[in-house]
Amino acid sequence: MPDADNYGNPDYPAQLAEMARVLQLHRGPIAIASHVDADGDAVGSVLGLQRALRALGKPAQAFLRVPNYLAFLPEAGEVSPPRAQLEPGTLLVVLDVDSSDPLRVEGVAIPSGAELVLNLDHHGTNSRRADLSIVEPGKAATCQLVKELVDSLGVPWTADIATPVLLGLVTDTGSFRFMNTNGAVLRCAAELVEWGASLSWINNHLSQQPKSHYALLVSVLSSMEFHFSDLVVSAQINQAMLDSAGAGWEEAEAFVNTIRSAQGTELAVLFKDYGDNVKISLRSRGRVSAQAIAVACGGGGHHAAAGATLNLPYLEARATVLGKIEEQLQIDGLR
């Protein structure tokens, strides 16, 4: 039986049709934006929707900062850098992030002054304050929602549209290895491959690492620590480590996936020490809620993958986070 991954929201198909109708009817400019520290799902969903809307003849423009490791995806000039003000009469589509969060949205300033705001997201913590919000925590990636929106728009699929959408599925499912990889995700990916998206092309590009990655890997592995009877693994990245490796902050995020492989651990936490604040990335194997820990630290995310920013120096932030982790391990019956 197919996965009913939109369970809990029987209105999803109607909402999707309504969003497609609003996009079809809009005559003015369309701006598309996503979140800070854009990842594969952010870039893929923005680019996929922009290409689909342009195929319909719509003046859609993506405002996005693309990280170096995804720079292979957009064509030259296809994506514009973040902008402070929108043209009058603009319809704004915000993907993969809460459209009302001025600290998390990047590309346009929030509030944006847009005529209409559409928000498509798979983070359950979304406050649903857009003119039209579709939030489906059961979807593995916002790209899965974009795929279904493009279907609703009736745009003929091409490899150009399918490729960024497939990339978002790949990155948000850890190459179809995480718990969120259900039958619906695989069927969605299968359709995108049939329309010409190449999984091997995507994986070949995503797997290439700059030299600086390996230098940083050495120091990140040296910072690894185990806590709470080895149920939790952590690592740290700070500016000095980046400087000596010749790496930038955008290379930091990937390392949470390096340490999460530690056998016997239930939770991995990467501390990114920016000096006056600390960002944490949390990954769970499923028995402990990464989302609950992130929310307790002022952030958000999913059960298996979440994050937060603590406006504290490193040692205080670390003590706070480890305290919240210990509480959650108790709540989830692991301690």
Catalog residues that contact Mn ion under the rule CB under 5 A: 41, 96, 142, 172
**Of 237 and 306, which has the nearer Cβ to Mn ion?**
306
Count CB atoms within 10 A of the CB of residue 45: 34
**Of 62 and 231, which has the nearer Cβ to Mn ion?**
62
**Of 142 and 152, which has the nearer Cβ to Mn ion?**
142
The least CB distance from residue 170 to Mn ion, in Å, is 12
Which is nearest to 199 in space by CA: 226, 139, 257, 159? 159
**Of 97 and 321, which has the nearer Cβ to Mn ion?**
97
Query: Beta partners for 132?
Result: 118
**Of 141 and 325, which has the nearer Cβ to Mn ion?**
141
Here the tokens at position 222 are 């040296």
The least CB distance from residue 252 to Mn ion, in Å, is 18
The least CB distance from residue 142 to Mn ion, in Å, is 5
The least CB distance from residue 97 to Mn ion, in Å, is 9
**Of 65 and 227, which has the nearer Cβ to Mn ion?**
65
**Of 172 and 273, which has the nearer Cβ to Mn ion?**
172
Question: Residue type at 28?
Answer: G
For the range 217-220, what are the long-range contacts, defined as Cβ-Cβ under 8 Å and sequence gap of 24 or more? 217/255, 217/258, 218/245, 219/244, 219/245, 220/255, 220/258, 220/259
The least CB distance from residue 171 to Mn ion, in Å, is 8
The least CB distance from residue 41 to Mn ion, in Å, is 3
The least CB distance from residue 133 to Mn ion, in Å, is 15
Cβ-closest position to Mn ion: 41
